[in-house]
Chains A and B, each alone.
Chain A
Amino acid sequence: MSTPVKYDAVESSAAWRFSDRIGLAFCWFLGLLFCAIAAAIVIYMLVKGIQYVRPELLTTSPTTGFTQAKTGGFLDPLIGTFIVAAIGIAIALPLGIAIAVWLSEFGRPFALARVVESTVEMIAGTPSIVLALFGTVIFSSTALAFLSRESGGVVFGRSFFAAGAMLSLVALPLVVSATREGLQAIPAHVREASYAVGKTKIATTRRILLPAARPSVATGAMLGLGRIIGDTAIIVVLLGALQNFEPTGSVFPFDYLQGAGSTLTNYVYSNAPTGELNNPQKAYAAAFVLLVLVLFLNAAVDVVHRRSRKAGSWNS
């Protein structure tokens, strides 16, 4: 009997061909470079931002002043960010889920489904400044005057409503594709099992498919939220890019929503060293808050995924 030979459990790249090893080294280099760039941005912005973030910045409104000590905080932009995010996702989520369900579960006639599919892809590829410009056309029409300010027959066309509605288009493709992916990951025999106990397609979708796809829907919604709160172009064009709220009208929550205002992105934009207001410390502090919000959303996506993995799934 021969003595058993011991092998390493893992294949070593030392045994690879030379050209393959160069390729591997190149991949490692690129991967590490990318990590370094991402780490540099995040760490620099966090370190720089945390020097200037003060709790009172989050609770005071911006004011005009000649020194940075007198320009107040960014309460209004912070609330504005939450408002556009809420409006945007409130439109994008139901619409996106409906489109995804139709595409994945019904999708007839076939030609129409393909058209809808490429339309969604087209919106995903459209620069948000183009969406913003189109938004000015829509929201300046007299029929939609109730969504913004009107004076002397001229519709202003800038409001939280207008910005939120256009921003929902930024989030929509992400919600659609994530939801579709979630639905398509459900094996066909699970749907059939529900039909086989006498359930209709609608009941199956509502009670089985959408709950099963919930982690994917949540992921899409959070990625969409990330895009909304990070968008600047639509805010500048359709929200007025002010510093403070500028309510118009008299009924409480609607006066703010109908009026122009600001978000953290346009606050950073105008307070950046190159911006018209030039309060770099405030810009860094606001950018820090924005970054923390986005990182928080990413972490939430992670949590949702981990939890869904724990809940178990089917063999396909």
Chain B
Amino acid sequence: MEFLKPPPVRRLDLEHAPEAREAPQRHDEHSNGNGNGNGSAPAGFTGARRRRIGAPQVSIPRMEIDHLSVAYDGKLAVKEVELPVRQGEVLALIGPSGCGKTTLLRSLNRLTELTRSASLSGRVTLDGVDIQSMEPTALRRRVTMVFQQPNPFPMSVFDNLAYVLREQGSRRGSRRALEAPVCEALERAGLFEEVKDDLSHPALRLSGGQQQRLCIARALVAKPEVLLLDEPCSALDPQSTEKIEELIVKLREDVAVVIVTHNLQQAYRVADYVGFMYLGDLVEYGGAKKVFGKPDQGRTRDYISGEFG
């Protein structure tokens, strides 16, 4: 049998190529990162502005993660992680792909249990109660989640939220009775103004950013204590991302927010506390300004400065 040879790799001869030009000089503006009242921004974050009006007003401990380990088929994905989750603060989990941040997030509302190969050890408490002792459906109404891809249900905007409020599979609960909480949640998610004229609009025909804010509204309508966000902006354009980031910062007053993100700039913009994970370990945890400014660990510094990722 004869196989085709792969085509030879073409290399550009830069020295002799007629159109090769010098790369434009970059003007890094390290000197004036002092424009937002939050102290000087660390190198690499000069463009990012922290979305803050002031320091968090409250800080109420909600969840406590205590020596949590998660394994898939015996292979550890999260190793002995300890973290507090507090209302009034945004906790961002950062780290390279496959470092266990999403797994950690999903174990907070026991979504990991849906994966058959997953096994768990350690303890997670919600307001002092071990979540393993709770009914999963009850837990997931108190610790809700927004996913990477916008995933509204194939029904109207109104029904997307009413579905959460209604008893399991039932259709009971008239539109009028559910209207108040639904509108309130839409308002909190900053979507009400855009959809108020037509609440029966099919949710899948909204724009991507609107869909994601609808998903946030859906996660808020059950009045949860903790809101988990799994890279909520990675499928969105910059404008929608900005809206959602502002929303996240606003929401932290009445709900504890945990956000997983790949985007370091985003973590810097929204987080009060940052946990850096690497290969399942929580390498560093601390205030956002400290982790991004003067991290304790060498690995954190390397990751943040872009040495690896």
Contact = CB atoms under 8 A, between A and B. Distances in A.
Nearest to B145: A196
B20 to A, nearest CB: 16
B114 interface: yes
A253 B139 CA distance: 53
A207 B171 CA distance: 9
A314 B204 contact: yes
B212 to A, nearest CB: 12
Interface in A191-237: 192-200, 202-203, 206-208, 211-212
A197 B138 CA distance: 9
B109 interface: yes
B163 interface: yes
Contacts of B205: 311-312
B114 A197 contact: no
B154 A192 contact: no
B60 interface: no
Given A200-B137, A202-B168, A190 B204 contact: no
Contacts of A207: 153, 163, 169
A316 B164 CA distance: 23
Q: Which one of B144, B151, B168, B169 has the greatest number of beta carbons of chain A within 10 Å?
A: B151
Q: What is the size category of the interface that chain A forms with chain B? A: 20 to 34
A275 to B, nearest CB: 50
B303 interface: no
Given A198-B140, A200-B168, A208-B154, A193 B204 contact: no
Interface in B156-181: 163-164, 168-169
A315 B111 contact: no
Given A189-B147, A198-B141, A314-B149, A212 B168 contact: no
Nearest to B171: A207
Nearest to A205: B169
B229 to A, nearest CB: 11
A311 B202 contact: yes
B168 A203 contact: yes
B168 A313 contact: no
B277 interface: no
A206 B169 contact: yes
A187 interface: yes
9 tightest A-B CB contacts, nearest first: A312-B204, A198-B141, A203-B169, A196-B145, A203-B168, A198-B140, A198-B137, A197-B164, A212-B154
Interface of B: 109, 111, 114, 136-141, 144-145, 147-151, 153-155, 163-164, 168-169, 202, 204-205, 215, 218-219, 222, 235
21 contacts: A189-B149, A190-B153, A193-B147, A194-B153, A196-B145, A196-B147, A197-B218, A197-B222, A198-B137, A198-B139, A198-B222, A199-B137, A200-B169, A208-B153, A208-B163, A212-B153, A311-B154, A311-B205, A312-B154, A312-B204, A316-B149
